[in-house]
Amino acid sequence: MAPRLLSLLTLIESALSQNESPSVAKGRPRRTVNFHKGLARLSFNDGSGAILLQGFTLADGQICVKAMLEWAGALKPGVQSVYPKEDFNWSGAAHRIAEAWMDGPPPEEAVMATSSSRESGEGDLAAAG
C-alpha cells in the first residue's frame, strides 16, 4: 500500500481548517509534490512554517511516511512518523499531524540545555548515540 502524499496533504489541510488554524486561515497553503522522490510539502502563506512529508519503504518492506513540522523561528523541527497497515485510518493520522503542528515547536529549554551541555563537553556520548 503506497502512501498517497497529495491525499495526505489534503487531509492535513482539512484537519487544520476544521481546527481553525491561523496558518490556514490566511489563505490556501502552497503545495509542492515530487512523486519520483516521494516528497510533498505544505508551505503556509503567512510564513509560519511548513509540513514536509516523505514516503519510503523500510528495509523490512514496511511503508513509512515521515512528517517534519517546521515552524518559523524554531530551532528544532517536530517529527511524526506514520506506519500504515491494512485498513489504515489516514484521516486519523492527518489529524494527529495537524494537532502536532498546532501544538507548536518543542520547548526551547530542551534545545538550549542540549546545546549548552555540548558546549561544555558534557553529553558527547549521548550526542553520538
| pLDDT tens for each residue of 68-105 | 999 998 888 999 999 988 888 999 999 999 999 999 88
Q: Name the one residue in this structure whose C-alpha cell is 514516503.
A: 55
Gyration radius (Cα) of the chain, Å: 16
Which of 54, 57, 58 has its CA nearest to residue 41?
54
Which pTM value belongs to this model?
A: 0.75
Dump pLDDT digits (tens) for 12-46.
988 988 877 666 656 778 989 888 898 999 998 88
Q: Residue 23: its pLDDT value, please?
A: 63
C-beta neighbour count of 110 within 10 angstroms: 11
Q: Is the pLDDT of residue 6 over 80?
A: yes
For 74-97, give one letter per residue: b (16+ CB within 10 A) or e: eeebbebebebeeeeebeebbbbb
**pLDDT classification of 47: cutoffs 50, 70, 90:** confident
